[in-house]
Amino acid sequence: MKSRVIVWVLFYACTLVAAGGAIWFVGDLNANEWIVPTIAPPAWLFGPVWTILYLLIATSGYRISYLKSSNLKNIALGLWALQMCLNTIWTPVFFGAFDLQGALGIIVVLWFTIGVYVLISFKIDRASSYMFVPYWAWVTFATALNLSYILLNP
């Protein structure tokens, strides 16, 4: 049992480090000289916010992985994995490729995936569902911010 816990913790930690570390591959965050929307938070805020969100994301996924087997558990874990992939891909598309429209498409699918995860996980573990609500709120804001960048930087 203890080795299983260690394996899952390592898996979630590696996943979160990969997603969080994606920013290091994109270089200067304003290398493209975009006009920054007034709703954009200060750069220093992203580190603390994402640290808290990634801890909640990991804990939610960990809790779901330890539930007894069911069809909803498998769907929830699939949605958890999908949102992590979309989360990881968004950063290099937005900051690396400077593809605002592509990033918007990704974040809209991410937002939808998080929402479905919240609904599915609520049916099998409410605490796991609640842990995703701040993340969903942040991605809602990030979606509006992504759209603002598009409108300001045609």
pLDDT at 26: 45
Predicted confidence band of residue 148 (pLDDT cuts 50, 70, 90): very high
Domains defined for the chain, CATH in brackets: 2-152 (1.20.1260)
Mean pLDDT of the chain: 86
CA 63/CA 100 separation, integer angstroms: 34
Predicted confidence band of residue 147 (pLDDT cuts 50, 70, 90): very high
Which among 116, 153, 154 is positioned nearest to 132, based on CA atoms? 116
Predicted confidence band of residue 135 (pLDDT cuts 50, 70, 90): very high
pLDDT at 47: 84
pLDDT at 9: 64
pLDDT at 95: 85
Give 72-109 pLDDT, tens digit per residue.
999 999 999 999 999 999 999 998 888 999 999 999 99
Predicted confidence band of residue 17 (pLDDT cuts 50, 70, 90): low
CA 94/CA 91 separation, integer angstroms: 5
